């Protein structure tokens, strides 16, 4: 089993990021996932199959202002995961993605502003995820319990992708 878990985020928009900042995020997140997958494939083929799980992000499904490089890299990982599923499925190698929302780690915070990089107050579950809440879906999709899943995207995002919850009580 391989879990690709490359994560680098530099806060910035398309205009505010320097090209070198954009490249370092793409190289870490997307190229790192590509290289990890490529390195694991020979041994997986020799074993007759296995599972690759790429940790992505809700930023790989929905555009997030201020995460131009990270979001772009995560959209790329999404494509790489689906391509890998098609390329490797007949070799009994499953390739899936897990898209966490914002997790209680140092990367959740903008180091300059010392605040969350993405607001959570108006999402359906208005809190940060615990690391264990994201590792559980990873463990599931990596095992034979998800043996018929490939090219799938599992979201653990607190409902972020649903959009904001209205202020009025229903």
Task: Give the model's pLDDT for residue 120.
Answer: 78
| pLDDT, mean of residues 125-147 | 92
pLDDT of residue 43: 98
Residue 167 predicted with pLDDT over 80: no
What the chain holds in terms of domains, given with CATH numbers, is 2-160 (3.40.50.720)
pLDDT in tens, 35-69: 999 999 999 999 999 999 999 999 999 988 889 99
Residue 20: the pLDDT is 98
Q: What is the pLDDT of residue 168?
A: 63
Q: What pTM does this model have? A: 0.89
Mean pLDDT calculated for residue range 139-168? 91
Which has more pLDDT, 157 or 23? 23
> At residue 46, what are phi and psi to the nearest 5 degrees?
-60, -35
pLDDT at 170: 58
Q: Which percentage of the chain shows pLDDT scores above 70?
A: 96
Is a pLDDT exceeding 80 seen at residue 2?
yes
pLDDT in tens, 70-102: 999 999 999 999 999 999 999 999 999 999 987
Statement: residue 115 has pLDDT above 70: yes
In angstroms, the CA 166 to CA 170 distance is 9
């Amino acid at each position: 089993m391989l879990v690709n878990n490359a994560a680098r985020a530099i806060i910035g928009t398309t205009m505010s990021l320097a090209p070198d900042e954009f490249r370092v995020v793409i190289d870490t997140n997307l190229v790192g996932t590509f290289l990890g997958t490529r390195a694991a494939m020979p041994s997986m083929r020799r074993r007759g199959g296995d599972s690759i799980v790429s940790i992505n992000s809700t930023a790989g499904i929905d555009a997030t202002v201020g995460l131009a490089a990270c979001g772009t890299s995560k959209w790329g990982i999404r494509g790489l995961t689906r391509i890998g599923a098609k390329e490797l499925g007949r070799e009994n190698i499953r390739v899936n993605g897990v898209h966490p929302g914002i997790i209680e780690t140092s990367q959740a915070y903008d180091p300059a502003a010392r605040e969350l990089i993405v607001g959570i107050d108006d999402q359906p579950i208005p809190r940060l995820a615990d690391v264990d809440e994201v590792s559980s879906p990873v463990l599931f999709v990596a095992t034979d319990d998800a043996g018929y899943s490939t090219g799938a995207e599992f979201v653990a995002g607190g409902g972020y992708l649903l959009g904001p919850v209205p202020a009025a009580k229903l």
